[in-house]
Amino acid sequence: MRQVNVGLVGYGFMGKTHSNAYRQMPRFFPDVGAAPVMKVICGIPAAGVKAAAPLLGWESYESNWHKLVARKDIDLIDICAPGNLHAPIAIAAAKAGKTIFCEKPLANTLKEAEAMLRAAKQAGVKHMIGFNYRRVPAVALAADLVRKGVIGEVYHWRGTYRQDWIVDPNFPLVWRLQKPLAGSGALGDIAAHNIDLAHFVVGPITHVAGHLTTFVKKRPRLTAVATGLTAKSTSQQMGTVTVDDAAIMLLRFASGAIGTIEATRFAPGRKNYNAFEINGSKGSMMWDLERLNELQLFLRDDPDYAQGFRTIMVTEGVHPYISAWWPAGHIIGYEHTFTHEVRDLMECIAKNKMPSPSFQEGVACQKVLEAVEQSHKSKGWIKV
């Protein structure tokens, strides 16, 4: 069994999900040939990461990522820091010969994303991007059914990702609302996930026409560091929101399919509604994250008396990843998607294979994000 020494940057929301995955993965997937060792967690402020390290299960902590990357005993650098730090950390990690696992979107700009891919290729290291929703068993099943032709030729992708955590205009100006830190808003944070799912299930997007909107342009500044999606500590001083609150786009795929994606943080009642409907010549499929164990399937060939969507409970041992978990019907959740990512990453390390999705898929998504921004400015279709 290969031991992979991990150094994780970031102890906020994503840092916690990844820590949980490293803790769980070897217990549920002991047979993939490699297992993570939770060596170091890194972040600022030092007092925060010091407290987080034992809580999240790390052997030690560090508050300077340069020192972390320079450590000879670390094999894998995992990047859960804000977007502006992805490129510098990943490029340094590649030069130091580390395997890199980076949260999405790959970077704040296409230029940075391409530089990350180049650096990783030049160094010959393995790289993976955290598009965790590919690892929902129902999504993996949907992709597999499309590949097997079960719904025939795909005509439509109808994607949406809706949240409501900033609909209150008094919600403060957290890092996710600042372009220099986050790169973009709903576009890179959540549309990116749906774009990646469209790439995964339908194939490459070739053309986009998009529009971006910021509904609340000024918000109270933060008075203290806040992580996650809940922040309360605010001042009377207002700051400018420099990212989009919502993004909409029309898509054309290389296969001839067409599609739409809508992403917003202004849909009251929609907490984390990442969803899609796919229509093909033989049938359709629907999935949404808030009911992540279920896949809706409609087949035109069903007898007349049974025409209608059926709900597949994707919890059978034959379904992707499920045999490692509980008996059929004993549902799994959001955190399992990260455990599955770590499982696949460890398997690739053990078998000396490039993980998927890699930075290559990260760049493919980033090209679409950039095309949407260009289209928003030029008000026309953009070739990706």
Q: Is 13 in the site for ligand SOE (CB under 6 A)?
A: yes
Q: Is 288 in the site for ligand SOE (CB under 6 A)?
A: no
Q: Establish if 24 lies at the interface with ligand SOE (CB under 6 A).
A: no
Instruction: Specify the residue, 39 or 199, whose C-beta has the smaller distance to ligand SOE.
Output: 199
Site string for ligand SOE, 344-373 (x = CB under 6 A): ------------------------------
State which H helix or E strand residue 286 sits in.
strand 283-288
Answer for which of 272, 356, 360, 374 binds ligand SOE (CB under 6 A) is 272
Give every CB contact of residue 150 below 8 A, 6+ residues apart in sequence.
282, 283, 297, 299
Kindly tell me which residue out of 21, 190, 246, 382 binds ligand SOE, with binding defined by CB under 6 A.
Answer: 190
| 8-state DSSP, 138 | H
Residue least distant from ligand SOE (Cβ) = 189
* Token couple for 319: 């379904």
Our CB check for ligand SOE shows the closer of 214 and 272 to be 272
Residue 201 carries which side chain, given as an amino acid letter? V
Question: In this structure, which amino acid lies at residue 336?
Answer: H
CB of 103 to ligand SOE, least distance (A): 7
Quick one: tokens of 284?
């359709």
| Partners of 59 in the β-ladder | none
Stretch that binds ligand SOE, among 45-53, 63-71, 94-102, 188-196 (CB under 6 A): 188-196
Q: Is 189 in the site for ligand SOE (CB under 6 A)?
A: yes
Report in angstroms how near the CB of residue 62 gets to ligand SOE at its nearest.
24
In the bound state with ligand SOE, the residue whose beta carbon lies nearer, of 75 and 189, is: 189
Q: Among 119, 117, 112, 134, which residue's Cα sits nearest to residue 194?
A: 134
User: Which of these ranges, 63-71, 186-194, 210-218, 296-304, lies near ligand SOE under the rule CB under 6 A?
Assistant: 186-194
Q: Give, for 295, the enclosing helix (H) or strand (E).
A: strand 294-299
- Only one of the segments 20-28, 189-197, 203-211, 349-357 lies at the binding site for ligand SOE (rule: CB under 6 A); that segment is 189-197
Contact call for residue 275 and ligand SOE (CB under 6 A): no
**Which of 44, 229, 250, 350 is in the footprint of ligand SOE by CB under 6 A?**
229
Q: How far is the CB of 190 from ligand SOE (least distance, A)?
A: 5
Number of residues that bind ligand SOE (CB under 6 A): 7
Contacts of 259 (CB under 8 A, 6+ apart): 156, 157, 158, 159, 198, 202, 205, 250, 251, 252, 253
Nearest partner of 240 among 163, 168, 166, 172, judged by Cα = 172
- Nearest distance, CB of residue 171 and ligand SOE, angstroms: 12
**Token pair in block for residue 342:** 């770590």
Smallest CA-to-CA distance from 274 within 384, 198, 209, 374 is with 198
- Distance separating alpha carbons of residues 28 and 370, to the nearest angstrom: 38
68 or 80: whose CB is closer to ligand SOE?
80
CB-based contact 22:339 (threshold 8 Å): no
Closer residue to ligand SOE in complex, CB, 107/190 = 190
The torsion region of residue 321 among left (phi > 0), alpha (psi -120 to 50) and beta comes to left
Site residues (vs ligand SOE, CB under 6 A): 13, 163, 189-190, 193, 229, 272
